[in-house]
Amino acid sequence: FSPLTKVKLINELNEREASLGVNESVSWHSEYKDSAWIFVGGFPYELTEGDLICVFSQYVSHHFLTTLLTE
């Protein structure tokens, strides 16, 4: 699936859970509720580490990015 298709499917799952009144404890959200990690994908393979730092430095500190990319 393409990244946009995955987003659409996740949104449909969220709507389905909400319409059915699914308890939060059994929702897929409960597995990730305490997670500080995010998945980022769909970038072209041609991008360099420097390109990614430029993109994400708009949202987080350079120190954090450098630490993340070197681990």
1 and 25 assigned to the same domain: yes
Question: What is the per-residue pLDDT for 29?
Answer: 79
With 70 as the cut, is the pLDDT of residue 54 above it?
A: yes
Structural contact between residues 28 and 13, judged by C-beta atoms closer than 8 angstroms: yes
The more confidently predicted of residues 71 and 34 is: 34
44 and 29 assigned to the same domain: no
The residue length of the chain stands at: 71
Taking only the tens place, the pLDDT of each residue in 10-42 is: 899 999 999 999 888 888 878 878 877 777 778
25 and 2 assigned to the same domain: yes
Question: What is the per-residue pLDDT for 16?
Answer: 93
28 and 10 assigned to the same domain: yes
28 and 44 assigned to the same domain: no
Question: What is the per-residue pLDDT for 36?
Answer: 73
The alpha carbon torsion through 59, 40, 71, 68 (nearest 10 deg) reads 0
